[in-house]
Structure 1
């Protein structure tokens, strides 16, 4: 049963975290608007789409920087408790430091469950809307955004078939510079190319424009050319989208199914998908680790006051985010197992949390 002190600390924990979000999210929006307003005006973006974009931006931004917001909020109000000698009074009443941590752990549990559910269901949809807007209106400027070297997508869709697109427009469901190659015993059988290929959701077909099919013969090749051709393919629409983009936009169940499908295909990008999956579980756990570190650092009354605690807190928070990003990239680009890379920051900072907590108890 929660005591008055538990309720008091828990209320401060959740309220300060909420206030920290409300303070920093508007700043993030203002900075984003100042950077993108010219592109929005140039492309005549409708107001409703801008409003929806900033809703998605808020969810995406808050989820990305959640560890920093949580850590700073705990540092802030715990330092204030320490400076007002409230922590000394609580511990002097006979409550142990471990018992003093209980409302913090309860608060971290509430935040973790919230972040976990958001990551499973809400963040993927927000990520899709956020990326759709960027690629449609902001990246490259225009409806055919995402037409750049860094958006090339190569996929093996079966044992002997490979597809490639230069870019993909999520709003029109259109891919550009499409090609499909079919092999038999490592020999090219035929190659289909099109300047663009559009998905037709009504009948689940694709329409190819500037269609060309080259069938390789023993002596002569057969070439078929049409300005437009409808066809049914075995690959999914998601196969045409960039690697990280599709992984970030899938809910938990769809992401698991997608990963299994990619494993069966022997996809070379499987580590990218696994990093996205494992982070859905590792990020909520970081709430407990960062909470313990924040309490251990800020529960002591220091000569420099709250400023010293905040400086230490900011340094540790950004160090956590830095290592989280670095190991995520290493998992995608190197041979490090994705699960190990994703959980290493939590393991390292968990050890730090235990060390700081033992010192704080003394």
Structure 2
């Protein structure tokens, strides 16, 4: 059973966090509107599309920044408790600092579970709508930049490889297509075509100016022609996915997508793994940042709430900096994505333990 003090702190914890979100998200929307309104007017964007975009914007950024909002909200209301000597009164009544932390941990658990559900079920759809709108209406290079569509190479099976020099999403046509099949290190089959077009109605492909070569023991078999319809194991959506595809997939689909891209030898596999691991690391950061916030703000300082907030903002920026640096490191280098994604939590987890031990004293 929760005691009165637990209910009091938990109510302040969740209430201040909600107020922080309601304060900063509208500010973010106003800033974004002021920056993008000219582009929207130029592109004659419908009001319904803009409304949908800002709904997706709210979900996307609330999920992305919720650890920071939570951190600052905990510092805010805990500093008020300290300045009003309420914490001194609580601890003087015989309650240990660990027991004082219990409602904070309960609050962090509630927020983390909610964030995890959002990340798995709501954020992928919001991310798809948010990114699609920006590329379609706000990007200088337009929707063509949504896809990794130049010099695309894919491994589609254990021994089959395909390549296209570029891909047109509107016509669903790729250029300078080649497909190779190997047995061990020996080439057994090669297909070349100046163009290959995906036919959505018939679910097949049309090859233009193609040459097919089968390597035989006593001679090669060569076939060529101007046009030919055929069927492959892949489709052009798989060949040239949108650059942010991983962010738009629910958890089970993301796991399947990563397994498929591993088999294909995708060069973007670390990018997809970073998205997967962050689904778990962000909710866990709520616990770590809550403990740090309580440890920092539970002491009454000479500078009052302002000093605590200053320390909190510095720590928040440090957390964001580490998160961004190690995220990019995982995507652009050979660093293990799992370790890179969790490094900010590990570093701040150690800091949380240190600060908590000092706060107990």
Report the TM-score, using the length of structure 2 for normalisation. 0.87
Q: Is the 8 A contact 1:137 1:145 kept in 2?
A: no
Task: Give the structure 2 partner of residue 261 of structure 1.
Answer: 260
1:309 and 2:308 matched:
yes
Q: Is the 8 A contact 1:168 1:241 kept in 2?
A: no
Deviation at 1:238, TM superposition (A): 3.8
Residue segments in structure 1 that go unaligned for 5+ positions in a row = none
SS in structure 2 at match of 1:161 = strand
Task: Give the structure 1 partner of residue 317 of structure 2.
Answer: 318
Q: Is the 8 A contact 1:74 1:294 kept in 2?
A: yes
Q: Deviations over 1:239-291 (max 9, x none)?
A: 42144x11111101001111222223333322222111111111111000000
1:51 and 2:28 matched:
no
Deviation at 1:83, TM superposition (A): 0.9
Q: Is the 8 A contact 2:204 2:232 kept in 1?
A: yes
Q: How does 1:171-320 map to 2 (within 5 A)?
A: 174=172, 179-184=177-182, 185-186=186-187, 189-194=190-195, 197=197, 200=200, 204-205=203-204, 211-215=208-212, 224-225=225-226, 232-236=231-235, 237-243=237-243, 245-320=244-319
Aligned length: 352
Q: Is the 8 A contact 2:191 2:212 kept in 1?
A: yes
Task: Give the structure 2 partner of residue 9 of structure 1.
Answer: 9
1:356 and 2:355 matched:
yes
Distance in 2 (CA, whole Å) between partners of 1:193 and 1:96 is 75
Task: Give the structure 1 partner of residue 140 of structure 2.
Answer: 140
Distance in 2 (CA, whole Å) between partners of 1:291 and 1:165 is 50
Distance in 2 (CA, whole Å) between partners of 1:175 and 1:81 is 64
SS in structure 1 at match of 2:18 = helix
Distance in 2 (CA, whole Å) between partners of 1:321 and 1:327 is 10
Distance in 2 (CA, whole Å) between partners of 1:77 and 1:193 is 66
Calculate the aligned-residue CA RMSD, in Å.
2.8
Task: Give the structure 1 partner of residue 328 of structure 2.
Answer: 329
SS in structure 2 at match of 1:268 = coil
Deviation at 1:222, TM superposition (A): 6.8
Distance in 2 (CA, whole Å) between partners of 1:7 and 1:154 is 57
Distance in 1 (CA, whole Å) between partners of 2:51 and 2:175 is 32
